[in-house]
Amino acid sequence: MVSRGGFRVLAVFRLLISRRSRAIAALLLAGFGAAAQTTPAPADTLAAAPPYSAAPLALVSLGRRPTQDVVDVYRALFPRTHVTAHDSLALQQGGKFVWVIPALGYTQQTRGLVQLTGNIAFRRPAANMSTLIAALSYTQNRQLIFVATPSVWGRGNRVNWVGDWRLMHYPQSTYGLGMHTTTDRAVPMDYQYLRVYQSVLRKVGGSLYAGLGYQLDDHWGISSRATTQEVTRISHYPYGVAGRSISSGPTLSLLYDSRTNAINPEGGSYLNTVLRANTRLLGSDTNFQTLLVDARRYLRLSPHSGDVLALWSYNAITLQGNPPFLDLPSTGWDTYSNLGRGFIQGRFRGKNLLYAEAEYRFGLTRNHLLGGVVFGNAQTVSEDLHLVSGSLATQFDRVVPAVGAGLRLNLNKVSRTNLSVDYGIGADGSRGVAFNLGEVF
C-alpha cells in the first residue's frame, strides 16, 4: 500500500552520488521544492528558514548550524548547477512547493515497486500547511495503485477539506479474522478497489472542528482461493469474500487539531472521531455503523533541542451490523497505510481494532539534515464471529507488540518533510522495512 507519498526514494540516492547524473539530480531536486509563484499574500505564521550557507557540509556538525536539507547539500557539492534553495518567503507569499519524485522501493505486501510520487505543499494566510500527496505505483506482485490524499486548509484555518481517494488492482493475501491466525495458512485474494472519502470540516472554536462527509468503499472482482479451490467464507465470515461488496454512507466528524504542520509536527495534539452510517439507501450492501477514534500527542522534550515524543492511539469499532470482509479494520489499512510497522498489511483483521504506538524522534546532526527514531507499537482485534470453545470471542484476548528504529533525511527544510526509512520487528518473527515521505504519524 502507498504511504504518505511513497515507499520510496531509493533512486534519489544513486542520482545524488553519481557525477554522471548531476543534471538529472538537479532536475529531481528542483522538483522537490520548486516554488510556483502566485499572487503575493500577507505573511502567515510560518517561521522563516535560516539562510543558506555555501560552506562545505559535514554529516556530523561540530557546531550549531542553520537547518539544511538535501537541496543545500547538492548546492554545496555542485554549485554550478544553479538548483534553487528552498525558501520560506516564497511559501509565505502564496507560493507552492511542487515535488515530482520517481522512485524504486520495496514493501512486504508489494515486494519490489516502481512509483511516481507528486506532492504539493502551500499555506494560506494564518493557516496550517496544506498538502496534496498523490502516487502511482506498479509492483512486483502485479498490483496497480493510485492514491491521493489532500488536506487543504482555508484562510485562518476556518475550513479544512480532507480526502482519501484510491483506485487499485490489488491481489493480496489475507490471514483470516482475529489474533490467533498464522501466516502459513494465508488465503490469496484478488480484487479491484475504489475508495472515495471526502469530508469538509468547519471551525467551531479554537482548534476544534466539526463537519460532514461521505465515504465509499467499492470492491469488485473479489476472488478468494485456498490452494486451488475458491472459498466463500474466511474464518467463518461470509460477507464480502467473493464477488462484489459496497459500503456507502455519510459521516459525522469531530476534529481537534492544534498542530501547525501535519507533515512533521513538533508539538500539539490531534483527535479525530468519525461516525459512519453505511446504508442501503446510498448503495451499501448492508446497513452497518462504525466509529473511528484517532488520537495523537506530540511532546517537545526540551526547548533546546528538536527531540519529540510522539504518541498515537488508533481505534476502529463496529457499532452495529456486519461490514464486508475487506472493510473490516485491519493492520496497515489506515489512511496512510502506516498502522502496525513490523507486520505485513492485513496481518490482523476483525470487527474491532485497538492500536497504540510511541515514537521518540531525535536529531543526528546539528544542521538537522539527518535524524533518527525508535518506536514501539501494540495492536489487538476482536473477532465477534469466530467460535472459540463454543462461545463468541467478542473480547480482545491477545495483544501483539512490535519495535523498531529508523533514519530520517531532511528533503525540505521549509515544509519539514523527511524521507523516513524504518525497520520493524513484530511478534511471531514478523519484520519489514517501511518507507515514507513525511513522518509516520
Where exactly are the structural domains of the chain?
Answer: 10-437
Residue 107 has a CB neighbour count (10 Å cut-off) of: 25
Whole-number Cα distances in Å, 364 to 26, 66, 203, 241: 26, 14, 38, 47
pTM: 0.80
3-state helix, strand, coil in the chain (%, to 5): 10, 50, 40
| pLDDT surpasses 80 at 298 | yes
Q: Which residue has the higher pLDDT, 210 or 85?
A: 210
Q: Model confidence over 58-105: pLDDT tens digits?
A: 333 334 567 888 888 888 888 877 777 766 555 555 667 777 878 787
Q: How high does pLDDT run on average in the chain?
A: 81
Which position has the higher pLDDT, 38 or 437?
437
Of 15-24, 163-172, 213-222, 273-282, the range with the lowest mean pLDDT is 15-24
pLDDT value, residue 102? 86
Chain centroid, CA 51 distance in Å: 31
The domain defined by 10-437 carries CATH number 2.40.160.50: yes
Q: Is the pLDDT of residue 382 over 80?
A: yes
Q: Average pLDDT of 247-272?
A: 93
**Given pLDDT bands bounded at 50, 70 and 90, which one contains residue 380?**
very high
| Range with the poorest average pLDDT among 105-114, 165-174, 212-221, 416-425 | 105-114
Return d(Cα 128, Cα 19) in angstroms, integer.
38
* Helical packing angle, 10-17 and 22-33, nearest 10°: 130
Q: What is the pLDDT of residue 283?
A: 96
pLDDT-derived band at 386, boundaries 50, 70, 90: very low
* Residue 29 parent element (H or E): helix 22-33
320-372 pLDDT, tens per residue? 999 999 999 999 999 888 999 999 999 999 999 999 999 999 999 988 899 99
